[in-house]
Structure 1
């Protein structure tokens, strides 16, 4: 049995080592594998997955995906003629493959961000299920190689809300995709636990008295807050429902910080906030679409042929056409992830330094920008405000103030966030946990509790 953090930014797996959870090494990826996938073409995903499935599942899957498998086999044969294999790449290997040839192949980062989205067609839901299953299959294979034995039981982390628009309908859709994918790749028993609750379980192990803890889990795609009553006595209970005083959650996370910074920090170099030759302000919608990598509808619109024609006209109408030509280049060569990745790497760098230079010479010769930690803070005011509102909502619902605020998630490393939280809660101790490992450790503890 394992705790499985299928995260928006990273995936991790934990097992119990005596009384302590241990995060497993996943081959060359280390303890955390980035939640990204690259395929030579989108049609390859279903064929690759079919080959990886347990024998008992392959026939059933082939019946469900007969047309997709036929199309994928045709594509595979054509790629083979060009000497291209049908293998998939995961984690950092996926990003490297994408960056080598951005306008070739199929790259997706953080598919968890799309789960629960409204307006998805059945074919899109099947595609996301196959993407999730492929990633889970890869992680399961790496886990079993690390342990030297089969794994059939798992607890998977979930946010309080996957998407904000449709409430429980969105959550049901997302959980159905995750459950189907996990069982398809060989997990026989699958349970879920709220990610902030799991993070709280790990923190609880350090307490020696009853404490009201506001757990704030700032993940890659969502932020979840839970007010939990914790302590040695509470930790022994099988049913923790009466200890969970409140929940709040929204689709705002590390990806949103990256996107906001890409838009406000980088896109001005692509013509955002510039003028048309007529003196009017440059339309901003295409710039937002370009960086909205966690919104399938926005990305579909940005890469449409109609938008390509619109951007060509925009270059002709611009007072500074050289800047807007960069945006057209992003559209033509599918460089959205390249731009947002530059913003993400700058955000990470700001953990240790106040300024960061990024090179985008692959988009335009001599395109280089210097960004600062203050630029990042200014760009992300809206996201920071939304996180504060979620925290206050959890406090209001609980009807009591926290004695400790426990913060976890990759974005918790940011000095900008730490400073913001200290200002919002000046009289409450703020504890920053293992930025990536708290949720995995908590899920692992819960797996032992329910399966043993």
Structure 2
């Protein structure tokens, strides 16, 4: 049966189109589903098996969506290998969260070691490595793919279309010959549907690193065999809230003062005039994938001035080393680790010691939930907006939560308060989307 696929973004509250695949007489191809994520990428076979892509790592099914270009080597490292190489010696260019720039018309390309890489070429490097790893299980790299995409890359329709166009081109550059798209919450729904013994109306919430996507869909045994699943999708929407923004709130409220926020420095040539750290610098510190973009000459000059004249020397030294030693990724890994611990403990500590940075900052779950309240309110508004547009939502049988932030207790409680504990369900937080994409790819083979 043709799986539900997405060809172009439509209104945020409307079901996406589910066209057929066309010529049924084409030559059979190896196919897979591929969930290209902001933080992690995963792939699955048509039977739903999520593949081991880097078997030598601690999380072999999760291929980290990062690249490292060492200064002294021609090799391009990706996934866990990129992280390990970067940790050994960070002299080079470390690139992460490239998916979050797909919708940005201002980010067309970047220079790495004298070579220009378009955003499509950067994404293709990762997709090609994942395709090759999948080929180990199939005997040859798959030619066909169902690619996941958020329900909303961005609310701007033109930018949303640009993001999908770029992702499609990257998949072509990676070697895929037949490419279809499926929005990620529908993929998660198909994974959830595989275990159902009866029909249900399900709200699926997929919490990624960059976005949260919601879909209301009819699922179950009587729907699985349908050739056209369009009638089963009641509504779909999304919001740009993901795990990275929860991490940013920890940075904003607990750590920015440790990197000079609130300090002042003296402007050269104006001995009696003192200024705070520029807001554009502070803003970049909230995002681990943007921090490397403030290492330009003007920032270096500013840091030099602040090192000489700041009223908080130790904090500015920490800021200097964070920026100039390219330590943003490592710091945000420590922040994420503390966030994960808060999912099961009442108190955690952000532990980070590098260069002149010595952080052991405690944070309570109560603090974290207070910091996160604006995000939780936005998630609730997005959810209620979808439900209010569809009267049948009052008959929801289950709420299926997947993705990393689904493990945050306050996020889960948002849905428990609304629907009751007995209706809120979870599965593998990081591979449900890939499983569903794999099942959808069955029609491509």
Quote the Cα distance in structure 1 between the aligned partners of 2:61 and 2:109: 34
Quote the Cα distance in structure 2 between the aligned partners of 1:322 and 1:233: 65
Contact kept? 2:46, 2:441, Cα under 8 Å: no
Match of 2:26 in 1: none
Question: Which deviations, in whole Å up to 9, do the C-alpha atoms of 1:328-387 show, x marking residues without a partner?
Answer: 222222222222222112122323333333432213264332333333323322222222
Counterpart of 1:437 (choices 426, 431, 444) is 431
Return 274-283 or 86-95, whichever deviates more: 274-283
Measured after TM superposition, the shift of residue 313 of structure 1 is 3.7
Normalised TM-score (structure 1): 0.81
Match of 2:102 in 1: 115
Contact kept? 2:33, 2:46, Cα under 8 Å: no
Counterpart of 1:94 (choices 76, 82, 103) is 82
Quote the Cα distance in structure 1 between the aligned partners of 2:434 and 2:362: 35
2:381 corresponds to 1:389: yes
Match of 1:451 in 2: 444
Q: Given the superposition, is the C-alpha separation of residues 279 and 355 from structure 1 closer, same or farther in structure 2, using an over 3 Å criterion?
A: farther
Quote the Cα distance in structure 1 between the aligned partners of 2:360 and 2:110: 40
Quote the Cα distance in structure 1 between the aligned partners of 2:253 and 2:122: 31
Give the total of aligned pairs: 400
Contact kept? 1:156, 1:193, Cα under 8 Å: yes
> Aligned ranges for residues 392-411 of structure 1 at < 5 Å?
392-399=384-391, 400-401=393-394, 402-411=396-405
Measured after TM superposition, the shift of residue 232 of structure 1 is 1.7
Measured after TM superposition, the shift of residue 194 of structure 1 is 0.5
Q: Secondary structure at the match of 1:360?
A: strand
Match of 1:416 in 2: 410
2:286 corresponds to 1:291: yes
Counterpart of 2:198 (choices 182, 201, 209) is 209
Match of 1:54 in 2: none
2:339 corresponds to 1:344: no
Match of 1:78 in 2: none
Match of 1:47 in 2: none
Match of 2:93 in 1: 106
Q: Secondary structure at the match of 2:226?
A: coil
Return 275-284 or 366-375, whichever deviates more: 275-284
Q: Given the superposition, is the C-alpha separation of residues 226 and 416 from structure 1 closer, same or farther in structure 2, using an over 3 Å criterion?
A: same
Normalised TM-score (structure 2): 0.82
Question: Which deviations, in whole Å up to 9, do the C-alpha atoms of 1:70-93 show, x marking residues without a partner?
Answer: xxxxxxxxxxxxxx3311112222
Contact kept? 2:189, 2:204, Cα under 8 Å: yes
Q: Secondary structure at the match of 2:151?
A: coil
Counterpart of 1:332 (choices 307, 312, 324) is 324
Q: Given the superposition, is the C-alpha separation of residues 354 and 273 from structure 1 closer, same or farther in structure 2, using an over 3 Å criterion?
A: farther
Contact kept? 1:8, 1:110, Cα under 8 Å: yes
Measured after TM superposition, the shift of residue 227 of structure 1 is 0.9
Contact kept? 2:398, 2:424, Cα under 8 Å: yes
Q: Secondary structure at the match of 1:151?
A: coil
Contact kept? 2:265, 2:311, Cα under 8 Å: yes
The structure with the largest helix share of the pair is 1
Q: Given the superposition, is the C-alpha separation of residues 24 and 128 from structure 1 closer, same or farther in structure 2, using an over 3 Å criterion?
A: same
Quote the Cα distance in structure 2 between the aligned partners of 1:170 and 1:431: 33
Question: Which deviations, in whole Å up to 9, do the C-alpha atoms of 1:313-335 show, x marking residues without a partner?
Answer: 44555432321321122222222
Q: Given the superposition, is the C-alpha separation of residues 243 and 114 from structure 1 closer, same or farther in structure 2, using an over 3 Å criterion?
A: same
Question: Which deviations, in whole Å up to 9, do the C-alpha atoms of 1:162-202 show, x marking residues without a partner?
Answer: 124xx221222122222112122221111110100010111
Measured after TM superposition, the shift of residue 127 of structure 1 is 2.1
Q: Secondary structure at the match of 1:367?
A: strand
2:32 corresponds to 1:2: yes
Return 270-279 or 190-199, whichever deviates more: 270-279
> Aligned ranges for residues 24-423 of structure 1 at < 5 Å?
24-26=51-53, 27-29=55-57, 30-41=60-71, 84-102=72-90, 104-121=91-108, 127-164=118-155, 167-273=156-262, 284-295=279-290, 300=293, 302-316=294-308, 318-364=310-356, 366-399=358-391, 400-401=393-394, 402-423=396-417
Higher relative contact order (CA 8 A, sep 6+): 2
Quote the Cα distance in structure 2 between the aligned partners of 1:89 and 1:177: 22
Quote the Cα distance in structure 2 between the aligned partners of 1:313 and 1:248: 47
Contact kept? 1:117, 1:163, Cα under 8 Å: no
Quote the Cα distance in structure 2 between the aligned partners of 1:106 and 1:416: 36
Contact kept? 1:291, 1:340, Cα under 8 Å: no
Question: Which deviations, in whole Å up to 9, do the C-alpha atoms of 1:409-448 show, x marking residues without a partner?
Answer: 1121222322343234447721112201211111111111
Quote the Cα distance in structure 2 between the aligned partners of 1:367 and 1:209: 51
Quote the Cα distance in structure 2 between the aligned partners of 1:28 and 1:155: 26
Return 204-213 or 130-139, whichever deviates more: 204-213
Measured after TM superposition, the shift of residue 242 of structure 1 is 1.8
